[in-house]
Amino acid sequence: MKLKKRKINYATIFFICWFAFLVFLIDGVLKFQTLVDYFGSYALVEVALLLLVILPTWAVYKFTKEK
């Protein structure tokens, strides 16, 4: 599989923006400890947050059209 520079650029920009938004949302608005208390597991919350960043970034890379 050959990596395409344009697709990587779009995925990187999306990753940075999405990650910054989630950090603001989780640390600023929802409070991380509140999520841990609600779900009862630190590991579960961490894995869910990682998947919320990795899966959409992968989808942006996968579905970006290369000219």
Q: Under a CB-based contact definition with an 8 Å cutoff, are residues 56 and 18 in contact?
A: yes
The pTM score is: 0.76
Question: Cβ contacts of residue 67 below 8 Å, gap of 6+?
Answer: 6
Residue pLDDT, tens place only, 36-65 = 999 899 999 999 999 999 999 999 999 888
Amino acid at 35: L
Place of tokens 């998947």: 51
Question: What is the distance between the alpha carbons of residues 56 and 14, in angstroms, rounded to a whole number?
Answer: 9
Instruction: Identify the pLDDT of residue 3.
Output: 67
